[in-house]
Structure 1
Amino acid sequence: MKIAIGLKRSGNYAPIFCSTREGGGLEEELEANGIGYLLLKRRRFSDVHKFKPLIDLLREEKIKIIHSHNLGSNLWGSIVGSIARVPVLIAHKHGQDYSTLRSLVLDKIVANLSQKIIFVSNDERQAFIQRIGTDPEKCVTIYNGISIDNPGSPPEEKTRNDYGIQKDQVVIGIIARFAPEKDHETFLLAAREVLRTNGKFTFLLIGDGKTKPSMQKLSKDLGINNNTIFTGFVDNPREVLPIIDIGCLTSKREGMGIVLLEYMAFRKPVVSTNAGGIPEVVQEGINGFLVDPGDYKSMAGKILELARDVNLRDRMGQEGFSILNAKFTDTIMVNNIEKLYDQSLEAAGVTKE
């Protein structure tokens, strides 16, 4: 959606958004931004006939580029695009698990049919090339980007009051869905180590998911329940970010970690695991610290180092904001995608008009 909106605003390409789902405000947002769309209302893998309206649209409008996202859409986008003879097929991959035979087979199909494959980090790109054995020239890294505006953020004092957090508490936050690969256990174990120093800390866990109940139980078992807050799902995390002093991520694997960009947008220093594409965002000792996945003691040590040094927090937060502006804004992302579109059309011998 963000890419479609960016393309529409730049005026260089006219996007048409296609989705297999509906609802959730999708249509309203597309219409508000003047973006044409097609909803296939596909429910099952076997609903192949639902793609006929898309094939008809591709042929009638003489669509020149299909840009799809993630495994299922990449597969069907490349197949449908080939049937409709769309000249440029671009697949976009985001932090996928390559451990299954199914993903290997489907990715090989996508790689063979696509002209270009976009990855959100160099780490993801290299892993794909090694696993699939595809031409490296076909694989391109374009980093995710976010808006650097902070509209609608409530005052920090109000948000602290809403969660019952005292002014003198240092707030350590993690924003991530509750899933095994996000490894909230490491965050809670680090919290226990930090709290053993008897400092004034609150640990804020923002998000929802299947491992949340077990993590709530772990918090109680560790005896840190009075210093941990599970917010549940937050529709707009930017409403909570102002009260976080230190942003954390404990993933075992990560394509890039877009939440890191959100921390940086709010000038927050980061303590994160050194996994996947994360070190392409968090520069050790510059805008944050990196620790090995699962190393909760090192994570606790880095949290304490930042908690005890306000000047260090401020300096790293500002460095993060500067890095964000230089590499990770939504404008930069859309510009890089448009350049790839231009190059791909030229390589296919097709004009933009």
Structure 2
Amino acid sequence: MIRILHVITDLGLGGAEAMLHKLIAHHDRGKFIHVVISLMDLGVIGARLQTEDMEVYTLDCKRGLPTWQAIRKLRNLARQLRPDIIQGWMYHGNLAAWLVRQFASGRPPLIWGIRQSLDRLSNEKWLTRGVILANAGLSHQVDAVVYNAHRSLEQHQALGLSGKTSLVIANGFDTNLFSPSSMARATIRAELQIPDTVLLVGLIGRFHPMKDHHGFLQAAAELVRHRDNVRFLMAGDGVDWGNPLLDKWVKQLKLAEHVYLLGCRDDITHLTAALDIAVSASARNEGFANVIGEAMSCSVPCVVTDVGDSAWIVGDTGVVVPPGNPPKLAEALEALLGLSADERQRMGMASRARAVAEFSIKQTTDRFEAQYMALAT
């Protein structure tokens, strides 16, 4: 059995955290044992892993620089757990994984994971910039750097971040779990009291400037000026009426009767399947947006901004617009809303076919496990 020790920044509700959970949930239990260290607390994903009888350890760091106490705990875990392979997730997790290898006996192989694109280093906070540059400086010591997006690989290599091997492993999805569902559509529409004659456009993702919720709302405001049969669903951490910025934007744009702010939900599969159109409006730094793959798997047509690998993900099954351009986003949405239901359905079916062919969780897990086997021999 090969013991993989994953080191990740935190285990909250994020794309990297979700991908780690899926990888562990679908791994070959006859060949691999997975153990996780979170630099911060347990989080929602950590709690789920524990209920699935996975080993999860936390350092309970706060955001910012680690404490000596956390470093000592990391050293002790490195020696106690005796990993065969160490895998870092995200910039801070990568540095901590490098440190684990210094503490561990036998200098096990080290994999790093880069989960975002990097349009401009200057966009990052000063501490994050330092961590990214530290990644670049140490990357020649890393056995493999795994990116989830081709554009991310190109951008980081231009910065000097290049391990002994660099490769892209796209995010994967459970295409049986994320699938078309007339029942989910009916259930969500009944909950929100949305008539069948109204079209539902959704943006699912945590509240963060890079996700550009404001731009999405500006596009929505443009659409409702000449359409009364469209509503906009938004969900994710911080995406609720208790968010003062969202509340202000919705009121300023006169969208209160057209927008649903649902916050964190545990029925994302149902929300996604209930949509007529899914949107990824990210302005920057997206690598491989999970919400795009999930929507495609549910046969929901997508409009995405040209950030990270979003354009490549949808291929010819979706619509791509420039980031940070609400008028273009509104124009693309209007084009899809203007299609017949049959035309949107055909577009959605093509999206699902691409998701099943290219982005199944089995394919992703197989690619990671092939990398583990190559490094373990």
**Do the structures match in fold with TM over 0.5?**
yes
Stretch moving more, 196-205 or 104-113: 104-113
Deviation string for 1:61-97 (max 9, x for gaps)? 4x32111211222111112213323331001111165
- Residue 331 (structure 2) aligns with: 301
Aligned to 1:139: 166
SS of structure 1 residue aligned to 2:314:
coil
**Residue type of the partner of 2:305?**
T
Q: 294, 307, 325: which one pairs with 1:275? A: 307
Amino acid at match of 2:260: I
Structure 1 residue 265 corresponds to structure 2 residue 297: yes
**Percent of matched pairs sharing the same residue:** 23
What are the within-5 Å matches in structure 2 for residues 220-299 of structure 1?
220-253=251-284, 254-283=286-315, 286-299=316-329
CA contact (8 A) 1:38 1:54 kept: no
Deviation at 1:21, TM superposition (A): 4.7
Contact 2:137 2:161 in 1 (8 A): no
1:19-30 to 2 correspondence within 5 Å?
Answer: 19-24=38-43, 29-30=48-49
Partner of 1:12: 31
1:348 aligns with none
Partner of 2:367 in structure 1?
336
- Corresponding residue for 2:92? 72
**Gaps spanning 5+ residues in structure 1: where?**
346-350
In 2: Cα distance, 1:331 partner to 1:307 partner: 33
* Aligned-partner Cα distance in 2 for 1:133–1:31: 33
- Structure 1 residue identity aligned to 2:90: N
Consecutive unaligned residues of structure 2, counting only runs of 5 or more, are 1-20
Q: Secondary structure at the match of 1:232?
A: coil
Alignment of 1:168-179 (within 5 A): 168-179=197-208
User: In 2, distance between residues paired with 1:178 and 1:19?
Assistant: 22
The answer on whether the counterparts of 2:46 and 2:56 sit within 8 Å (CA) in structure 1 is no
The 5 Å alignment of 1:158-237 reads 158-209=187-238, 212-237=243-268
The alpha-carbon deviation at position 156 of structure 1 amounts to 2.2
Among 78, 83, 105, the residue aligned to 1:55 = 78
Write the distance in 2 (CA, Å) between the matches of 1:342 and 1:308.
Answer: 50
Change in 2 beyond 3 A, CA 1:107/1:27: closer
Measured on the aligned residues, the alpha-carbon RMSD in Å equals: 2.4
**Counterpart residue number, 2:11:** none
Match of 1:129 among 127, 134, 157: 157
| Alpha-carbon separation, structure 1, partners of 2:25 and 2:107 | 22
Deviates more, 1:141-150 or 1:82-91: 82-91
Q: What is the rounded CA distance, in whole Å, between the counterparts of 2:131 and 2:152 in structure 1?
A: 14
SS at match of 1:178: coil
CA distance in 2, matches of 1:155, 1:257: 22
**Separation (CA, whole Å) in 2 of partners of 1:177 and 1:151:** 19
Q: Distance in 1 between matches of 2:47 and 2:257?
A: 41
Question: Which has the higher mean CA deviation after the structures are superposed, 95-104 or 40-49?
Answer: 95-104
- 1:34 Cα deviation from its structure 2 partner: 4.4
Partner of 2:101: 81
Q: Which amino acid aligns with 1:116?
A: A
CA distance in 1, matches of 2:357, 2:76: 41
**Number of residue pairs matched by the alignment:** 338
Shift of the 315–210 alpha-carbon distance from structure 1 to 2, 3 Å rule, reads closer
Query: How far 1:39 moved relative to its partner?
Result: 1.2
Which residue type is aligned with residue 235 of structure 2?
I
